[in-house]
Amino acid sequence: MENPDIPAGGGPFSLENFLRDELARIQEAGLLRRLRVLDSPQTTHIVSDGRALVNFSSNDYLGLANHPALKEAARIEWEKAGFGSGASRLVCGTLAAHERLEEMISGFKRAGAALCFSSGYAAAMGTIPALCSSEDVIILDKLCHACLVDAARLSGAQLRVFPHNDVEKLESHLRWARAKHRGSRVLVVAESVYSMDGDVAPLREIVDLKDRHGAWLFLDEAHGVGVLGANGRGLAEATGVEGRIEVQMGTLGKALGTHGAYITGCRLLRDFLVNRSRSFIYSTAPPAPVAAAAARAVEILGGAEGGSLRRSLWKNIRNLGSALGIPEPPSAIIPIIVGAEAAAMAAGGDLLASGFLVPAIRYPTVARGAARLRVTLSASHSDEDVGSLAEVLKPHMAGTPTC
Ligand SMILES: *Cc1c(COP(=O)(O)O)cnc(C)c1O
């Protein structure tokens, strides 16, 4: 029934009014975000708003997003299998390309099995709430990615957050969880490389602790796979704890240059997720050509070319670190902490005017007052790209520790 007190369309209560007020509030706080359209492919040299820019903002760490072998794999697959998958994997959407990709991933990761999802966000949202519910405890690092936080909240489990990389506090949460919730499942959630800080988790200690207290570990290797470890399998490989982690997640849209994500673990984990993961069950399977391109990317990562791309990436990481006079960065993500939101935006604007795309990262992605420029490096950057970036970054380095 119509309410005679409310004008048609809602008047002051209209959606439009709400949206306008909210956007004005965001803008006043200096936090308004806008989409930037690229008029070129996603590579290290891009065109946006008619301007040529050197791109230091992408997570395409190995330059695979435009690799000819990936394009070729996708082309062959779409000629063979078409584009759409038609349905959820469980209905009729599981195609040969999906199974092959999962075999490639489990082989590469030396895991019992892999299960793919449409995105990293979907992988987290589908896996964490399948493993834990209101009787259980989830303990997260303070800087975990939004999808891990959202997934933990969705699970209904009791949440505990430990300060970033603080293993003592993690241990006290583990003790608390075991004392209070004797029969519960306890899941520790951490990343290998933190996406806005570029630092790495003390993974060995975390694995020792979760073992000692009978907890499981969910490790998000989004920025570790392809970058860390002698064979590019991530921080778990680099620290020698691969066999001791219950659940690993990785994304296909970063170093693997495509789209989607995977969960690896034991065979039973895969069977369980096929039955219990809502983002897997109730969502259309990713397109076969994307899966075929991702399988090709995994093949490249595991072979000689992957090794050589990784060496190029690390040469760029070391060169930028030494040109900036900072300790050797532990990953391909190098934050230049600026502090105030407005100052970070201004610094990003300066870099843009000099022809470099380096995103300013602000609240709520990072804490208030910890705004930063986030530089990401790729194997595809040339020595000259890196050298000229260092020159324009130096004036903005005030808040970043140097050696
Ligand atoms: C990018 C990212 C995700 C999300 O992956 P998408 O495939 O982009 O949805 C999850 N975790 C971390 C740490 C990430 O950086």
Q: What is the mean pLDDT of each run of 10 residues along the chain (403 residues)?
A: 68 90 92 89 92 96 98 97 94 95 98 98 98 97 97 98 98 95 92 97 98 97 98 98 98 98 98 98 97 98 97 98 96 95 92 96 91 97 98 82 49
Dihedral angle computed from the Cα positions of residues 149, 153, 158 and 161, in that order, rounded to the nearest 10 degrees: 20
* Residue where the block lists tokens 């990761």: 109
Rounded CA-CA distance 35/27 in Å is 15
Determine the atom of ligand 1 nearest the C-alpha atom of 124: 10
pLDDT of res. 5: 72
Collect all residues with Cβ–Cβ distance below 8 Å to 179 and sequence separation of at least 6: none
- Could you identify the atom of ligand 1 that is nearest to the CA of residue 191? 13
From CA 276, how far away is CA 255, in angstroms rounded?
28
Provide the 3-class DSSP secondary structure of residue 189.
strand
- Residue located nearest, by CA, to atom 3 of ligand 1: 120
User: CA–CA separation, 97 vs 289, rounded Å?
Assistant: 8
pTM for this prediction: 0.95
Distance 222 CA to ligand 1 centre (A): 6
Angle (CA) 280-144-162 rounded to 5° is 130
Q: How far is the CA of 218 from the centre of ligand 1 (A)?
A: 14
- Catalytic: which of 210, 254, 259, 381? 254
Active-site residue among 223, 259, 381, 396?
Answer: 223
Label residues 110-120 b or e (16+ Cβ within 10 Å = b): ebebbbbbbbb
Q: Which tokens go with 357?
A: 């795309």
CB distance 373 to 347 below 8 Å: yes
- Ligand 1 mean position, distance from CA 332 (Å): 15
Active site residue 67: no
Candidate from 118, 145, 249, 333 with most ligand 1 atoms within 8 A of CB, to mutate: 145
How far does the centroid of ligand 1 lie from the alpha carbon of residue 139, in Å?
Answer: 19
- Residue 94: how many other CB atoms lie within 10 Å: 16
User: Catalytic site residue 181?
Assistant: no
List the one residue out of 250, 247, 245 whose CA is nearest residue 234. Answer: 250
Is there a catalytic annotation at residue 254? yes
Name residues contacting ligand 1 (CB within 6 A): 119-121, 145, 147, 191, 195, 220, 222-223, 251, 253, 261
d(CA 131, CA 69): 37
Q: Ligand 1 center to residue 121 CA distance, Å?
A: 6
Using the mean position of ligand 1's atoms as its centre, give its distance from the Cα of residue 72 in Å: 25
Residue with CA at minimum distance from ligand 1 atom 14: 222
- Cα 374 to its chain centre, rounded Å, is 14
- The secondary structure of residue 192, as a DSSP letter, is S
Instruction: Give one word for 369, left, alpha or beta, with left for phi > 0 and alpha for psi -120 to 50.
Output: left
- How big is the CA angle at 285 (ends 280 and 286), to the nearest 5 degrees? 115
Ligand 1 atom showing the smallest separation from residue 144 Cα: 13
Dihedral angle over CA of 256, 260, 261, 262, nearest 10: -100
C-alpha to C-alpha distance for 211 and 281, rounded to whole angstroms: 31
Place of tokens 């009978």: 214
Atom 8 (ligand 1): residue with closest C-alpha? 120
CA distance 86 to 149: 31
